[in-house]
C-alpha cells in the first residue's frame, strides 16, 4: 500500500514536469482546473481526510490552503470558487511542491507506525490513491485545454500519451457486430477490492438482446459524418443538442480546425493533421447520439457495455504504476476491442443511483452521489487514464455538452 501510495504521488509530480510554472497556473475554462490546483488539491485531500483525523499531533501545513484547495466539499468549509482557480498565483508552484513533500513525509510517518495497520486508515488511503489517479487524468485533459488555447500551439512533450491507430472501424465501415442474448445479469461491484460508491450495490438487471460494435468509431467515420452535413441536419439531433450546435457553432469535434484544406487537431503532441484510423475523441454526448442516429443505430446502455465487457473478459491494462505508456495498447485477448485505454465511451444511460445506493457517511459522501442528475454515464477508460485505474464496473460521468475530455463512442443496436 505504502509503495503504491508514494508511486502514485510521484507520478502526479512527474506529469507536471514538462510544464512551466505559468502553464500550471492558468485555467482554460470553468471545467478545466490548473495543474497547480490538482497538485495542491490531491495533497489537501490526504491532509484533510488522513492526517488531520488520524496522525496524532499533526499540524496543518498552512491553514489558508483549505480555502485554496477544497474542491466542493460543503461539509469541510468555504473554498475558492471553481471558475476562479486560475487566478491563484499564490501559493506558488514551488510552495505547492513543498506542501506535497511535507504531507508525504507525514504520510510516511503515519504508515511507518502501528496505525499503519489500522484498517480505516488503509481504506481512506486507498480512496486517496484512486482520487489522485482521477486527478492525474484530469491534469492531462486540463493541460491539453491550456495548450490548445495558446496562440503558439505548443506540445506537452515529444512523446505524450496519445491514441493508438487501429485497423478496422465501425460496423458500417468494415467492422463487425458482436451479438449478446441478454437476460438477467448481475451488475456493479461485488467483491472486496476498491471501487467507488457509485458502482454499488451489486444488483440484477434485465437486458434485452443487443449487439455491440467490436471497435470504436474512428476519425474516418467522423469525417464522413461531417461531409454528409451531419452538423447541419436538425433531424439528426436531440433538441438540446441542436441548440448547442447553433449556440456554440460546432462543425467538428473540440480542438479540430480546418486549415490548408484539411482537418487538423490540437493534442498533447501539438497541432497535427487528423489521423483517420484513430478513435474519434473530444465529442459531446449530443454529437455521439447524432452520429449513431445518422448511422441508423444507437448508443449502448451502461449495462449493455458492462455485460459485454464481462462476457468477453476484457480488462483495463494493468501496467506498472509510475510509468505511463507512451501510447495505448490494444487488448489482444478478445474480439471486443478498445474497451479500455483509448477513449471513454458515451452510453445512453443517465447517471443515476443504483438500487439501494446510499452515499457514505461524512464528507466522503459528497464524492459521487450529489452529481446524480442531468449527466450521462461513460464507460471504459482513455489513454490518459492511469494504468489499472478503471474496471468493468467503473462509471465515469459528464454533462451532455462537455467535450474537453477524451470522449468517444461505440455503436450498439437491438438484436432481432
- Positions that interact with its own copies (CB under 8 A): 20-26, 28, 36, 64, 67-68, 72, 74-75, 80, 84, 86-93, 146, 149-152, 154, 184, 203-206, 208, 234-235, 237-242, 285-286, 289, 348-350, 352-353, 355-356, 366, 370-374, 376, 400, 414
Q: How far is the CB of 84 from its own copies (least distance, A)?
A: 7
Q: How far is the CB of 36 from its own copies (least distance, A)?
A: 8
Nearest CB to its own copies, comparing residues 20 and 192: 20
Nearest CB to its own copies, comparing residues 88 and 328: 88
Nearest CB to its own copies, comparing residues 174 and 362: 362
Nearest CB to its own copies, comparing residues 347 and 385: 347
Q: How far is the CB of 359 from its own copies (least distance, A)?
A: 10
Q: How far is the CB of 33 from its own copies (least distance, A)?
A: 14
From the list 411, 414, 415, 413, the residue with the least C-alpha distance to 169 is 411
Q: How far is the CB of 259 from its own copies (least distance, A)?
A: 15
Residues 281, 406 contacting (CB under 8 angstroms):
yes
Q: How far is the CB of 146 from its own copies (least distance, A)?
A: 6
Cell numbers that stand for 117 in this block: 495497520
* β-strand pairing of 376-379 with 344-350: antiparallel
Cell numbers that stand for 347 in this block: 452510453
Q: How far is the CB of 368 from its own copies (least distance, A)?
A: 11
Nearest CB to its own copies, comparing residues 25 and 381: 25
Nearest CB to its own copies, comparing residues 219 and 376: 376
Nearest CB to its own copies, comparing residues 376 and 390: 376
Q: State in Å, rounded, how far the first CA of the chain is from the last one.
A: 49
CA–CA distance, 281 with 390 (Å, rounded to integer): 18
Q: How far is the CB of 184 from its own copies (least distance, A)?
A: 7
DSSP codes of every residue in 147-206? HHT-TT---S-SS---PPP-SS-SGGGT--EEEE--EEEEES--SSS---GGG-S-EEEE
Task: Give the SS3 label for residue 139.
Answer: helix
Nearest CB to its own copies, comparing residues 267 and 400: 400
87 Cβ contact partners less than 8 Å away, ≥ 6 residues apart: 27
DSSP codes of every residue in 66-86? HHHH--S-TTT-----GGGGG
Nearest CB to its own copies, comparing residues 286 and 340: 286
Helix 35-46, helix 119-148: angle, nearest 10? 170
Dihedral (Cα; 158, 163, 164, 170), 10-degree rounding: -160
CA–CA distance, 86 with 27 (Å, rounded to integer): 4
Nearest CB to its own copies, comparing residues 124 and 245: 245
Dihedral (Cα; 189, 304, 289, 281), 10-degree rounding: 60
Q: 210 has which bridge partners? A: 180, 414
Q: How far is the CB of 202 from its own copies (least distance, A)?
A: 12
CA–CA distance, 388 with 214 (Å, rounded to integer): 22
Nearest CB to its own copies, comparing residues 270 and 325: 270
Question: CA-based angle 408:161:164, to the nearest 5?
Answer: 55
Q: How far is the CB of 249 from its own copies (least distance, A)?
A: 14
CA–CA distance, 36 with 92 (Å, rounded to integer): 8
CA–CA distance, 289 with 311 (Å, rounded to integer): 25
Q: How far is the CB of 275 from its own copies (least distance, A)?
A: 24
Amino acid at each position: 500500500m505504502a509503495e503504491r501510495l508514494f508511486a502514485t504521488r510521484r507520478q502526479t509530480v512527474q506529469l507536471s514536469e514538462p510544464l512551466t510554472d505559468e502553464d500550471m497556473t492558468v485555467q482554460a475554462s470553468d471545467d478545466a482546473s490548473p495543474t497547480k490546483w490538482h497538485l495542491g488539491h490531491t495533497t489537501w485531500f490526504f491532509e484533510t481526510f488522513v492526517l488531520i483525523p488520524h496522525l496524532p499531533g499533526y499540524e496543518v501545513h498552512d491553514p489558508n490552503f483549505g480555502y485554496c484547495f477544497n474542491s466542493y466539499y460543503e461539509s469541510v468549509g468555504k473554498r475558492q470558487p471553481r471558475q476562479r482557480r486560475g487566478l491563484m498565483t499564490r501559493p506558488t508552484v514551488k510552495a505547492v511542491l513543498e506542501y506535497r513533500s511535507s504531507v508525504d513525509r507525514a504520510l510516511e510517518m503515519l504508515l511507518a507506525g502501528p496505525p499503519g495497520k489500522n484498517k480505516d486508515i488503509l481504506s481512506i488511503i486507498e480512496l486517496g490513491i484512486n482520487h489522485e489517479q482521477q486527478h492525474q487524468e484530469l491534469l492531462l485533459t486540463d493541460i491539453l485545454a491550456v495548450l490548445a488555447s495558446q496562440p503558439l500551439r505548443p506540445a506537452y512533450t515529444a512523446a505524450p500519451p496519445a491514441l493508438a491507430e487501429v485497423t478496422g472501424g465501425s460496423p458500417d465501415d468494415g467492422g463487425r457486430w458482436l451479438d449478446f442474448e441478454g437476460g438477467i445479469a448481475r451488475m456493479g461491484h461485488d467483491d472486496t477490492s476498491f471501487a467507488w460508491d457509485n458502482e454499488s450495490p451489486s444488483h440484477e438487471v434485465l437486458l434485452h438482446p443487443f449487439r455491440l460494435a467490436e471497435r470504436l468509431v474512428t476519425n474516418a467515420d467522423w469525417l464522413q459524418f461531417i461531409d454528409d452535413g451531419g452538423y447541419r441536419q436538425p433531424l439528426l439531433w436531440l433538441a438540446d443538442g441542436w441548440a448547442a450546435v447553433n449556440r456554440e457553432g460546432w462543425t467538428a469535434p473540440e480542438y479540430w480546425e480546418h486549415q490548408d484544406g484539411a482537418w487538423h487537431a490540437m493534442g498533447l503532441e501539438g497541432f497535427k493533421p487528423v489521423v483517420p484510423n484513430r478513435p474519434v475523441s473530444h465529442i459531446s454526448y449530443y454529437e455521439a447520439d447524432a452520429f449513431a442516429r445518422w448511422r441508423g443505430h444507437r448508443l449502448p446502455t451502461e449495462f449493455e457495455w458492462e455485460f459485454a465487457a464481462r462476457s468477453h473478459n476484457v480488462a483495463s491494462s494493468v501496467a506498472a504504476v509510475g510509468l505511463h505508456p507512451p501510447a495505448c495498447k490494444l487488448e489482444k485477448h478478445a474480439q471486443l476491442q478498445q474497451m479500455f485505454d483509448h477513449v471513454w465511451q458515451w452510453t445512453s444511460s443517465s447517471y443515476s443511483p443504483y438500487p439501494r445506493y446510499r452515499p457514505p457517511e461524512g464528507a466522503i459522501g459528497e464524492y459521487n452521489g450529489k452529481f446524480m442528475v442531468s449527466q450521462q454515464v461513460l464507460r471504459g477508460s482513455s489513454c490518459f487514464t492511469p494504468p489499472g485505474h478503471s474496471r468493468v464496473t467503473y462509471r465515469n460521468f459528464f454533462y451532455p455538452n462537455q467535450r474537453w475530455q477524451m470522449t468517444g463512442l461505440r455503436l450498439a443496436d437491438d438484436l432481432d
